[in-house]
Chain A
């Protein structure tokens, strides 16, 4: 089963991402919403309409939904103008009106002089804009994106992220965006729905997802994390606990989920940027330093415990030396296994 018991809602005007590794079911879920695939059971509502329910499935052309495909799907036998105008022509809109709307949308995506060109004459980035133009010109009540940027090179991808986001804000269209790139999801979304193996793992804002991951998978998938199995020592109420890490280091931290009671053996998540050099704290030996430009990644060891710390590049750190670090309790997160 590609998708199992997936359930979520999207508010009007919201930009949400379906994030997850390949094969997690995010594209399948998107295609079910679009009507390009059938669900075995379940219901889907778009606006006031029930588009999928037991035994009933509204065909895609009637759902008021449009999509930007990963392969762009620009029709090679039509010009850019005709590609974008297609959805308006099927609605039998007047030619002058079509002309006006298509020109306006092409200007919106920066392709106003490309109307007469054919799909095969455009670069990847330009084809992508045609795909976006075609999807928004019909003013769908729901806009779907199926990993639209994954075929672009890194520099173009970053620029297009902001452009897509700006476009979405401007048009105010409810959008569901599928991606496996967590940086992309973080930058663009109001809310992220993290999926794995056909199920929803966590549904929250980008900050929530990063700072309070719901389980081991969420903690490991988004950003970098030190994931360590530790022991519960004491509970201090209101979600605050004391824990002991392997090697004897004792810290205080908080649970990521209010509804969960940690067991004696618990998973601890500490983000590398929160392990800060300080005058007072715990001592470590530096194993390795990797210079990345703005930061340096330092692998440190205390007893049997190895941690990764992201430290500013301002000070020069050498392997083999000893360093003292401090971790704020708010950065120590107790995370459920699943």
Chain B
């Protein structure tokens, strides 16, 4: 009896949370103006424009092309690093791995700001340095170019490829490669003819995953693409609803276009991960595979990884620190330091306000998300409530919806309700975006708890609720805790869903930083970026050392 009640509660709730915003966005694409506008009427004009006219098709083309290049370069470098760490005797493996994965916990937006500081054609720090050292004129590096944008995006998406391939390598039966060695195959030969084909499905799934992420990405192009050389759909969505001339209908129409691309990309991803799963051969033996000795190449290859870490983490944060603490107008070789920039900004009312908002969102979203994810996983997997398949589908639906698209949809849904303009509307958008992640984690955690542990509780007289509280939840707690921290990180750094929902009262740090950038105030943006990173770092460190959470397993 109580099972049906759960269905009656969950299905409408999830529909409103996840499906309704997307539906409203589709509705908005066919409207001539905002829903609040009394003159607004249904029209095909916006959709026709976006789907058939040249400027938008060009944007579509460049978005897809860029995403393909980002996915390709991230995947190739990712597999290289994964092979290096898992299969060779490279020193300090776990340290290197931590650093390779670290960009996942940082904000790509903040990274982009940092690279702006580093690589702008005229005043970029790297350019200034090179000019100073080598006494030349001209531009050494320009990040505001298509190549620059592709490389920087690849830098921040590489960890996804690394993790996927690394997991596949670890789950591969070592005997496959051992058999190749015994049959006379050398290191390169084995890697290319045995290892690569086996991890190829995992690699392809990572490729599509990054492709979908890159297509929908707002943060990096919005920062670096100021000169609008390269057109990005996600940025266009934002500009159509935030900059003159404001055209909500077109914004929604572009959102729907992005939605279809993601759906196709996710379908390709799911297909290839299903294939990848067939290649998993987890053996119970657990003895270690023979590592390829690198000999002379050892330190050069460590150097390669170090360069990656340098480019993705060290250099950007040095640039940010410089931007914040160095007196402006000073000589790069003889800097004078000041904390006045930092002080002023940190204590300003808007930054304090934004910090409070960010932390509130960062604490509420993961908590609700994880609890909801566990309840849904329990209902679908254990209780098998009626409509379980529908619930599973709706919950996972937002995986195919990029942040900016969801932001658009949530905007259209709640713009005329009192929740709009509060942090509540942000939480609603984030909740729907991250629910698939929390649900998957809850599902995996449940899978690892043998059913008989819950059945024994049942036979000892406990109903579903007591069993969930006394048996399931305590046993799932480690996985749930690490999921909490991941969603915390996502919420703190999220900008694409937040930027469209931002009004005077619910500004969060990422949006504030973006606004400063818009006004041209890079140092202020950098301060906020550092503040955001500090909050993220506290979260990760608390997780690692206080709760002993191992985060790399969760991706």
In angstroms, Cα B462 to Cα A76, docked, is 18
* Contact assessment for A77 and B462 in the assembled complex, using a CB-CB cutoff below 8 Å: no
B466 at the interface (CB under 8 A from A): yes
In angstroms, Cα B460 to Cα A296, docked, is 49
Given A75-B471, A76-B475, decide whether A60 and B452 contact each other with a Cβ distance below 8 A: no
In angstroms, Cα B475 to Cα A76, docked, is 8
* Contact assessment for B461 and A90 in the assembled complex, using a CB-CB cutoff below 8 Å: yes
Given A59-B463, A76-B475, A77-B475, decide whether A69 and B455 contact each other with a Cβ distance below 8 A: yes
Q: How far is the CB of B98 from chain A (nearest CB, A)?
A: 29
Contact with A along B442-481 (1 / 0, CB 8 A): 0000000010110111111111001000110011000000
Residue of A nearest to B470 (CB): A86
- Selected contact of B456 from candidates A59, A76, A134, CB within 8 Å: A134
Given A73-B455, A75-B471, decide whether A61 and B450 contact each other with a Cβ distance below 8 A: no
Which residues of chain A are near B470, meaning CB under 8 Å? 86
* Contact assessment for A73 and B461 in the assembled complex, using a CB-CB cutoff below 8 Å: no
Which residues of chain A are near B452, meaning CB under 8 Å? 69-71, 73
Does more than half of chain B's interface fall in helix, strand or loop, or is it mixed? helix
Which residues of chain B are near A36, meaning CB under 8 Å? 455, 458
In angstroms, Cα B470 to Cα A134, docked, is 16
Residue of B nearest to A67 (CB): B459
In angstroms, Cα B81 to Cα A171, docked, is 63
- Selected contact of A90 from candidates B450, B453, B460, B474, CB within 8 Å: B460
Residue of A nearest to B466 (CB): A90
- Selected contact of B460 from candidates A35, A59, A71, A87, CB within 8 Å: A87
In angstroms, Cα B452 to Cα A220, docked, is 33
A209 at the interface (CB under 8 A from B): no
Which residues of chain A are near B456, meaning CB under 8 Å? 67, 69, 73, 75, 131, 134
Given A71-B450, A75-B471, A77-B475, decide whether A138 and B455 contact each other with a Cβ distance below 8 A: no
Contact with B along A41-76 (1 / 0, CB 8 A): 000000000000000000111000111011101011
Residue of B nearest to A36 (CB): B455
Interface size on A, residues (CB 8 A): 24
In angstroms, Cα B461 to Cα A69, docked, is 16
Given A69-B452, A69-B455, A69-B456, decide whether A91 and B471 contact each other with a Cβ distance below 8 A: no
A16 at the interface (CB under 8 A from B): no
Which residues of chain B are near A70, meaning CB under 8 Å? 452
In angstroms, Cα B490 to Cα A84, docked, is 42
Which residues of chain B are near A34, meaning CB under 8 Å? 455, 459
In angstroms, Cα B453 to Cα A69, docked, is 9
Which residues of chain B are near A131, meaning CB under 8 Å? 456
In angstroms, Cα B474 to Cα A34, docked, is 25
Given A71-B452, A73-B450, A90-B466, decide whether A61 and B475 contact each other with a Cβ distance below 8 A: no
Which residues of chain B are near A90, meaning CB under 8 Å? 460-462, 466
Given A75-B471, A76-B475, decide whether A61 and B453 contact each other with a Cβ distance below 8 A: no
Residue of A nearest to B475 (CB): A77
* Contact assessment for B461 and A91 in the assembled complex, using a CB-CB cutoff below 8 Å: yes
Q: How far is the CB of A56 from chain B (nearest CB, A)?
A: 11
* Contact assessment for B460 and A66 in the assembled complex, using a CB-CB cutoff below 8 Å: yes
Given A73-B450, A73-B453, decide whether A61 and B474 contact each other with a Cβ distance below 8 A: no
Q: How far is the CB of A109 from chain B (nearest CB, A)?
A: 16
Q: How far is the CB of B170 from chain A (nearest CB, A)?
A: 25
Given A73-B450, A77-B474, decide whether A61 and B463 contact each other with a Cβ distance below 8 A: yes
- Selected contact of B453 from candidates A35, A60, A75, A87, CB within 8 Å: A75
Which residues of chain A are near B471, meaning CB under 8 Å? 75
Which residues of chain B are near A66, meaning CB under 8 Å? 459-460
Which residues of chain B are near A71, meaning CB under 8 Å? 450, 452
In angstroms, Cα B458 to Cα A36, docked, is 9
Within 8 A of A (CB), among B107-156: none
Q: How far is the CB of B265 from chain A (nearest CB, A)?
A: 40
Most buried by A among B455, B457, B460, B463: B460
In angstroms, Cα B453 to Cα A86, docked, is 12
In angstroms, Cα B454 to Cα A34, docked, is 13
Residue of A nearest to B460 (CB): A87
Q: How far is the CB of B388 from chain A (nearest CB, A)?
A: 15
Q: How far is the CB of B256 from chain A (nearest CB, A)?
A: 43
* Contact assessment for B475 and A86 in the assembled complex, using a CB-CB cutoff below 8 Å: no
Within 8 A of B (CB), among A56-112: 59-61, 65-67, 69-71, 73, 75-77, 86-87, 90-91
* Contact assessment for A134 and B474 in the assembled complex, using a CB-CB cutoff below 8 Å: no
Most buried by B among A87, A91, A135: A87
Residue of A nearest to B467 (CB): A61
Q: How far is the CB of B4 from chain A (nearest CB, A)?
A: 14
* Contact assessment for A138 and B475 in the assembled complex, using a CB-CB cutoff below 8 Å: no
Contact with A along B490-512 (1 / 0, CB 8 A): 00000000000000000000000
Q: How far is the CB of B387 from chain A (nearest CB, A)?
A: 18
* Contact assessment for B458 and A61 in the assembled complex, using a CB-CB cutoff below 8 Å: yes
* Contact assessment for A60 and B459 in the assembled complex, using a CB-CB cutoff below 8 Å: yes
In angstroms, Cα B460 to Cα A67, docked, is 9
Which residues of chain B are near A60, meaning CB under 8 Å? 455, 458-459
Q: How far is the CB of A145 from chain B (nearest CB, A)?
A: 12
Residue of A nearest to B477 (CB): A77
Residue of B nearest to A84 (CB): B460
In angstroms, Cα B188 to Cα A191, docked, is 65
Which residues of chain A are near B474, meaning CB under 8 Å? 77
Which residues of chain B are near A61, meaning CB under 8 Å? 458-463
Residue of B nearest to A131 (CB): B456
Residue of B nearest to A77 (CB): B474
Within 8 A of B (CB), among A97-144: 131, 134-135, 138
In angstroms, Cα B466 to Cα A73, docked, is 17
Contact with B along A249-273 (1 / 0, CB 8 A): 0000000000000000000000000
**Other than the known A61-B459, A66-B460, A69-B456, what 13 A-B pairs have Cβ atoms closer than 8 Å?**
A36-B458, A59-B458, A70-B452, A73-B456, A75-B456, A76-B475, A77-B474, A86-B457, A90-B462, A131-B456, A134-B456, A135-B459, A138-B461
A–B pairs, 24, beta carbons within 8 Å = A34-B455, A35-B458, A59-B458, A59-B463, A60-B455, A61-B459, A61-B461, A61-B463, A65-B459, A66-B460, A69-B452, A69-B456, A73-B452, A73-B455, A75-B456, A75-B457, A75-B471, A77-B475, A90-B460, A90-B462, A90-B466, A91-B461, A135-B459, A138-B461
- Chain B residues near A (Cβ < 8 Å): 450, 452-453, 455-463, 466, 470-471, 474-475
Which 6 A-B residue pairings sit nearest by Cβ, starting from the closest? A87-B460, A73-B452, A90-B461, A73-B456, A69-B452, A60-B458
